Amino acid sequence: MSDGNIGKPVPRKEGRAKVTGAAQYVDDLRLPGMIYGATVRSHVARGRIQKIAFGEGIPWDEFTIVTARDIPGANAVALILNDQPYLADAVVNHPEEPVLLLAHEDKYLLEEARRRVRIDVEPLPAVFTIEDSLARKEVIWGEDNVFKTFLVEKGNVDEVWSGDDLVVVEGVYETGAQEQLYIETNGVIATANAAEGVVVQGSMQCPYYVHKALVKLFRLPEDKVRIIQTETGGGFGGKEEYPSMIAGHAALLAWKSGRPVKMIYDRAEDMTATTKRHPSRTRHRTAVTREGRLVGMEIDFVIDGGAYATLSAVVLSRGTIHAAGPYNCPNVRISSKAVATNAPPHGAFRGFGAPQSIFALERHLNKVAAAVGLTPEELRRRNFITKGETTATGQVIHEDVDLAALLDRAFELSSYHAKRERFSRENDASRIKRGIGFASFMHGAGFTGSGEKYLQSIVGCEATAEGRVRVLAASTEIGQGTNTIFAQIAADALGLDYDSVEVVRPDTGYVPNSGPTVASRTCMIVGKLVETAALQLKQTLANDGLLAESFTQDDFARACREYVERHGALRAFTQYRQPENVEWDDEHYRGDAYGAYAWAVYVAEVSVDTLTYETRVEDFVAVQEVGRVIHPVLAAGQIEGGVAQGLGWTLYENTVWQAGRMANGQMTNYIIPTSADIPPIRVHFFENPYEGGPNGAKGIGELPMDGPAPAILNAVEHATGVAFDRVPLVPEAVMDALLARAGRGLKDVDERQTTGTGATAV
For 635-666, letters b (16+ CB in 10 Å) and e give bbbbbbbbbbbbbbbbbbbbbebeebbbebbe
Which among 206-214, 367-375, 476-484, 548-556 is the span making contact with another protein, rule CB under 8 A? Answer: 476-484
- Rule CB under 8 A: which of 509-538 touch another protein? none
Q: Give kind and range of the element (H or E) at residue 535.
A: helix 527-543
- Helix%, strand%, coil% for the chain, nearest 5: 35, 25, 40
CB of 82 to another protein, least distance (A): 30
Q: Nearer to another protein by C-beta: 394 or 673?
A: 673
User: Strand pairing of 331-339 and 146-154?
Assistant: antiparallel
Q: Which of 312, 25, 31 is nearest to 147 (CA)?
A: 312
Q: Nearer to another protein by C-beta: 21 or 745?
A: 21
Q: Nearer to another protein by C-beta: 181 or 487?
A: 181
- Rule CB under 8 A: which of 164-193 touch another protein? 180-185
- Rule CB under 8 A: which of 559-588 touch another protein? none
Q: How many of the other CB atoms lie within 10 Å of CB of 197?
A: 19
Which among 519-527, 567-575, 676-684, 742-750 is the span making contact with another protein, rule CB under 8 A? Answer: 676-684
- Distances in Å between the alpha carbon of 258 and those of 59, 200, 220? 19, 14, 17
- 304 contacts another protein (rule: CB under 8 A): no
Which among 146-154, 341-349, 526-534, 673-681 is the span making contact with another protein, rule CB under 8 A? Answer: 673-681
**2, 7, 14, 144: which one contacts another protein (CB under 8 A)?**
14
- Rule CB under 8 A: which of 255-294 touch another protein? 266-268
CB of 656 to another protein, least distance (A): 5
CB of 5 to another protein, least distance (A): 16
CB of 370 to another protein, least distance (A): 29
Dihedral angle, C-alpha 609, 612, 615, 619, nearest 10 °: -50
Q: Are 575 and 458 in contact (CB under 8 A)?
A: yes
Distance between alpha carbon 428 and the CA centroid of its chain, in Å?
Answer: 40
Dihedral angle, C-alpha 603, 609, 614, 620, nearest 10 °: -20
DSSP-derived 3-state class of residue 148: strand
Strand partners, 463: 469, 570
- 55 contacts another protein (rule: CB under 8 A): no
CB of 266 to another protein, least distance (A): 6
CB of 625 to another protein, least distance (A): 20
**132, 678, 684, 752: which one contacts another protein (CB under 8 A)?**
678
Amino acid at residue number 713: L
**156, 430, 456, 669: which one contacts another protein (CB under 8 A)?**
669
CB of 650 to another protein, least distance (A): 12
According to DSSP H, which parts of 673-750 are helical?
703-706, 708-720, 731-743
Binding track over 90-109 against another protein, x by CB under 8 A:
-----------------xxx
Binding track over 200-239 against another protein, x by CB under 8 A:
-------------------------------xxxxxx---
Q: Which of 355, 403, 360 is nearest to 380 (CA)?
A: 403
**194, 396, 569, 739: which one contacts another protein (CB under 8 A)?**
739
**50, 612, 753, 757: which one contacts another protein (CB under 8 A)?**
612
- 115 contacts another protein (rule: CB under 8 A): yes
Q: Which residues, in sequence order, are CB contacts of 131 under 8 Å at separation 6+?
A: none
Q: Which of 445, 485, 440, 448 is nearest to 624 (CA)?
A: 440
DSSP-derived 3-state class of residue 335: strand
Which among 39-47, 61-69, 506-514, 666-674 is the span making contact with another protein, rule CB under 8 A? Answer: 666-674
- 671 contacts another protein (rule: CB under 8 A): yes
Q: Nearer to another protein by C-beta: 343 or 392?
A: 343
- 674 contacts another protein (rule: CB under 8 A): yes
Q: How many of the other CB atoms lie within 10 Å of CB of 17?
A: 13
- Rule CB under 8 A: which of 622-661 touch another protein? 633-634, 636-637, 640-645, 651-652, 656
Q: Nearer to another protein by C-beta: 176 or 595?
A: 176
User: Strand pairing of 117-123 and 661-662?
Assistant: unpaired
**1, 4, 22, 753: which one contacts another protein (CB under 8 A)?**
22
- 21 contacts another protein (rule: CB under 8 A): yes
According to DSSP H, which parts of 6-106 are helical?
15-20
Q: Nearer to another protein by C-beta: 18 or 256?
A: 18
Distance CA 112, CA 104 (A): 11
- 111 contacts another protein (rule: CB under 8 A): yes
**155, 248, 319, 481: which one contacts another protein (CB under 8 A)?**
481
Distance CA 369, CA 452 (A): 38
- 151 contacts another protein (rule: CB under 8 A): no
Rg (CA), the chain: 27
Q: Nearer to another protein by C-beta: 5 or 664?
A: 664
CB of 494 to another protein, least distance (A): 24
Q: Give kind and range of the element (H or E) at residue 255.
A: helix 242-257
**1, 396, 548, 663: which one contacts another protein (CB under 8 A)?**
663
Q: Nearer to another protein by C-beta: 236 or 384?
A: 236
Q: Nearer to another protein by C-beta: 109 or 582?
A: 109
- Distances in Å between the alpha carbon of 53 and those of 40, 42, 50? 12, 13, 10
**1, 4, 19, 543: which one contacts another protein (CB under 8 A)?**
19
CB of 324 to another protein, least distance (A): 29
- Which sign does the torsion angle of CA 82, 87, 89, 91 carry? positive
CB of 715 to another protein, least distance (A): 18
Q: Nearer to another protein by C-beta: 299 or 636?
A: 636
Q: Which residues, in sequence order, are CB contacts of 454 under 8 Å at separation 6+?
A: 447
- 668 contacts another protein (rule: CB under 8 A): yes
- 740 contacts another protein (rule: CB under 8 A): no
Q: Nearer to another protein by C-beta: 292 or 516?
A: 516
Distance CA 305, CA 596 (A): 27
CB of 730 to another protein, least distance (A): 7
- The values of phi and psi at residue 126, to 5°, are -125, 165
